[in-house]
Chains A and B, each alone.
Chain A
Amino acid sequence: MTSKVTTEVLEKGTKQVKTILQIAQKQKTKISYDKKAESEFFVDNSALAGFTGERILYMSVRELIENSLDSCEINHILPVIRLRLKLLDGLNDLWTISCKDNGIGIPSEKVPVAVCSFLTSGKYVEKQQRGLFGVGLKMIAAFSTKDTDHPLRVWSKSEEESECYFDLRTDIGTNKPITLFKKNVKNDESQIEGESGFKVEAVLRAKLSPVTKNKIYDYISQTSIVNPYAIITFETDEGKVTFKRRTEIMPYPSKEVLPHPSDMDLKTLKKAILNFMNQKTTLQGILSNSFQKMSNDKAKEIITRAGLPIKPADKYDEHELIKVVNVCKHTKFQSPNTDHLSPIGEKILTVGMTSEYSIILNKETANSGSQTQLSAKILKPALTAYSSRICVVNNRPTIVECGIAYGGDMPSFKLFRFANKIPLLYDEGSDVAREVISEVGINKMGISKKEVKEQFSHVETKSDRTVEYLPIHIFFHICSTKIPYKTAGKESIASEGDLKKYMKSCLSDLYRKVSAQIRRELKLKEDENKLRLYKHYIPFIIDAISESIKIDSKKLSLAFQNLAERYVSGELTNITKQIFPDSNQKRNQMTDKKNTVNNDNGDENNLNKFDKRTSVSKHGNKTKLDKINIHRKITKK
């Protein structure tokens, strides 16, 4: 019975399949080959630029801040950035985002194209920079056009120009800007106070989950760590926070650089030849002028080895040129230059680490119900240290910078990752920095797992890596002309070439540098723990004794407290040897040593680089044994 039914169904099924196939055959003829405008392509594939549902506002904040910072640093202007993110229409999820900076601005005739047309950017050069594709601002413009009827409002003031204002939208179908309105701004309506600057205001349709909101806060506070020379004001519906300028030192901007011959391909070579088109230069000349580490002799050698005849450079065909590329791939060149890179630098990172801002949401239960209020708190570590490595990873010049901030206000372990000064917030688990931290043992700090776990036994961490018990912030910054990102989302760095090796050596170096301080901190922590233990356990001991024998329990308790305090402070050493017998004296001798000026990144062996200011302030906070209530109620009985 059942089998019959199944066969019937099967037959029916095959019949249906057949008809579908027939239809398909009939329809397969037409395929149209349309060209898609860049803007349409990017809007359709917004994930490529990271603009996906939840992350639209996060990415917008990121792109705007990065553009502003780049725009300031290019002319060595100390950045002042004001970012606002406000809910415009909660029912329709409309947000107003605006960002104003004091950067170089955009010349007025270029504004519409620079804001709206995809793949138009001043950034298409071989150089270390934050944004790379010139996609960010355009994405905001396109999304605003796509999802709302609001124009993008732009104020720009570039050198020797007066401030001008635009209402813009993007023609997504053609990748062209639509200028709805344009005017020169009169003084009394001016939005840009300084000599130059740029302000953009857009309306976006987006949802903001608490997770994403926190990522935005994290992003801004981490940006301020590596850009302590910038004033960043951030305003939301929850309040306004200002990240103050903590230093006037700015890093040297990165410079444009010639490509390294190991990276040569047919495209770069043809482009190089094209650049010299009108100058009657030989191929040899073009090679030595277009690539670094390529002397005239070396260029000659390569052309000879490629077996090419001598003729005008533009007369070589692709089959000949590919031979040059192949030869270059097999030739040894000197390592690429690194001096064009722009690391954060010891001074700036140290400033950032010693004044790390953290955004706090205060839940205020005022009369009008509960309301959250934004505020920023500066975390002061007890000590910081810095180390860096200049290296070449897969032929790309790379600088690895690593910093540590320990103790003080640091509540717990945290890893900060930066790539070309951009904070990386997602995919921490798969980042090479994670591996580096797991693989460098904390014994390099001269402390053991046991000690740490004993002193920080209350710390709750999902990880069993000992370093995560410590109140330590570890910072990694990788800067390079090309960062080996793991994914298109650009949120984690792959362990490529020797990168991990250099990062490990950098971190080991730091661990060694801070070992003495960490041990001292740990000793302080131990003392603190001990005093707390005494405070908690002395009443039990006093009770046990005074219940058993006749004794003045008040006097005994006071005497014991006194004894315990003297013992912890090291005055009393009659029982056992201390683990760090000499540290108590040292602690008192510590002087208020200001951060020594020591700029050179390569100088890693200098041990006097620590910021010791806060170690001393910590000493002042030393916990005292509180008065113990000896008449503790005994619950049993």
Chain B
Amino acid sequence: MATKDRRHQEIINKIRKIMKNVGDDILIEGIMPSLEIPKVGYDNTVWSDERRMLTIGNKTVQIGPNSSKKIPTFAQYLVMANAIRKLLDEEMESTIRGMYYATLSTVGDEKNQQKFWSGQDDSDDAIKAIELLTNVPREEFSVTSKPKGMISGPITLSVGGDLIDCNLGSRATSQLIPTNIRDLEIVKVKADFVMVVEKDTVLNNIRKSGFIQKYNAILLTGSGEPDRATRMMVKMLNEKWKKPVVIFADADPWGLGIALRYKIGSESLSYDSDRLVTPNSKVLGMMFSDIYEYNIPKVARLAATQEDLNRANDMKKKPWLQDKQWKRELNLFLEHKEKCELDAFFKYGFKYLADTYLPNKLREAGVI
């Protein structure tokens, strides 16, 4: 508890420093205050060869109350910073939605009234800005999101001292990955490797087949776009517990994108890659080439939408996806204009995915 207090105090001081600077600009310097925040997005995302992940570049943006657009933003950032300070002060914990409600209010007089936040997206952005400003991840603000990642297998977690055994033996359920990662500890890992899949439906199917017991594996999913806790869990298992990590996602540009979030990171979270990315993980499938190698029946393939094609073309242009393997796969997709979900293997029987496809792929990669 004592260490926590100190860390909290550090963050509170950081926020106070920001407030002090703004106050000084106005009172002492007599200039428009401004917050310098690292720029987040494609044009400030840099591939690091050394760390083998996406990192944030040197570009910054100035947020100050100097344009009609930025006046509200500036106020929003300061209000959010103050709310985070209060949360830490009170030793409380909140979801990002909770922060949205805590700071909800209306602006303006009766004639020109509007909402302080136009939606939760705005307040989420403000939280992100405070992360960037203070260089502190949101977990340390005690701000989390709703858990959505799931884990199953021979691993024991401790959440705030409560032990959770994820190897429930019944094959019937998985554990949610807690998002208050500061309270989370991995106590024991008995698995040989970690398998990440894109969707919870696929995870359920694999778990039910007895895959965990047969291959002594941990199954993990982010239920689509993985949250920060899931990514951190994967990284910890790989780097701290030295377990090989393999990733399976759908054979479409979206799925490939999700798989790569784990392996190389993302543009929108490039500032936090060090905490989130697992460069040693292996994306094993489902490759576009698998559609043809495993001869997925035509009826189980889906036609690519224009959005899919645009996304694939975009991905092809990214400097960090110039690797031959990815280029080949994306070209294959653009050529055939077909995509396929992991669930498509159910066409060959409900156990085909867990009993045949996955073991084949794992064997090829030398994981089993």
Q: List the interface of chain A (C-beta within 8 A of B).
A: 454-455, 458, 526, 529-530, 532-534, 536-538, 540-541, 543-545, 547-549, 551, 555-556, 559-560, 563-564, 567, 572, 574-576, 635-636
Query: 4 tightest A-B contacts by CB?
Result: A544-B82, A544-B78, A537-B75, A548-B19
Q: How far is the CB of B339 from chain A (nearest CB, A)?
A: 35
A533 and B73 CA atoms in complex are apart in Å by 11
Residue among B68, B69, B82, B109 making CB contact with A547, cutoff 8 Å: B82
List which B105-152 residues lie within 8 A (CB) of chain A. Answer: 105, 107-109, 112, 116
Residue among B22, B68, B82, B86 making CB contact with A526, cutoff 8 Å: B68
CB pair B75 A575 closer than 8 Å: no
Q: Tally of A-B residue pairs with Cβ under 8 A?
A: 98
CB pair A533 B78 closer than 8 Å: no
Residue among A454, A538, A543, A564 making CB contact with B69, cutoff 8 Å: A454
> Which B residue sits closest to A637, measured CB to CB?
B86
Residues of B contacting A532 with CB < 8 Å? 108, 112
Query: Taking the complex as formed, is B16 at the interface, i.e. its CB lies under 8 A from any CB of chain A?
Result: yes
Residue among A526, A536, A541 making CB contact with B108, cutoff 8 Å: A536
Residues of A contacting B297 with CB < 8 Å? none
Known contacts A534-B71, A536-B107, A551-B23, A541 near B112 by CB under 8 Å: no
Pull 9 A–B residue pairs with CB atoms less than 8 Å apart, ordered by A: A536-B107, A537-B107, A540-B78, A541-B75, A543-B82, A544-B78, A559-B26, A560-B26, A563-B32
CB pair A530 B68 closer than 8 Å: yes
Residues of B contacting A555 with CB < 8 Å? 27
CB pair A576 B66 closer than 8 Å: yes
Chain B window 22-34, contacts with chain A (Cβ cutoff 8 Å), 1 for yes, 0 for no: 1100110011101
Known contacts A536-B112, A549-B16, A635-B105, A563 near B74 by CB under 8 Å: no
A249 and B31 CA atoms in complex are apart in Å by 55
List which B311-338 residues lie within 8 A (CB) of chain A. Answer: none
Residue among B23, B71, B86, B116 making CB contact with A530, cutoff 8 Å: B71
Query: Taking the complex as formed, is B20 at the interface, i.e. its CB lies under 8 A from any CB of chain A?
Result: yes
CB pair B112 A567 closer than 8 Å: no
Residue among B26, B30, B71, B85 making CB contact with A537, cutoff 8 Å: B71
Query: Taking the complex as formed, is B72 at the interface, i.e. its CB lies under 8 A from any CB of chain A?
Result: yes
> Which A residue sits closest to B81, measured CB to CB?
A544
A448 and B335 CA atoms in complex are apart in Å by 40
CB pair B107 A540 closer than 8 Å: yes
Known contacts A458-B112, A536-B107, A564 near B81 by CB under 8 Å: no
Query: Taking the complex as formed, is B65 at the interface, i.e. its CB lies under 8 A from any CB of chain A?
Result: yes
Residues of B contacting A544 with CB < 8 Å? 19, 75, 78-79, 81-82
* Extra 12 A-B pairs, beta carbons < 8 Å, given A537-B107, A556-B26: A458-B112, A532-B108, A533-B68, A534-B71, A536-B107, A544-B79, A545-B22, A549-B23, A556-B27, A560-B26, A567-B66, A575-B31
Residues of A contacting B71 with CB < 8 Å? 530, 533-534, 537
Query: Taking the complex as formed, is B67 at the interface, i.e. its CB lies under 8 A from any CB of chain A?
Result: yes
A168 and B263 CA atoms in complex are apart in Å by 97
CB pair B72 A454 closer than 8 Å: no
Q: How far is the CB of B18 from chain A (nearest CB, A)?
A: 8
Residues of B contacting A543 with CB < 8 Å? 79, 82
Known contacts A541-B74, A559-B26, A574-B32, A534 near B102 by CB under 8 Å: no
A541 and B67 CA atoms in complex are apart in Å by 15
A636 and B22 CA atoms in complex are apart in Å by 24
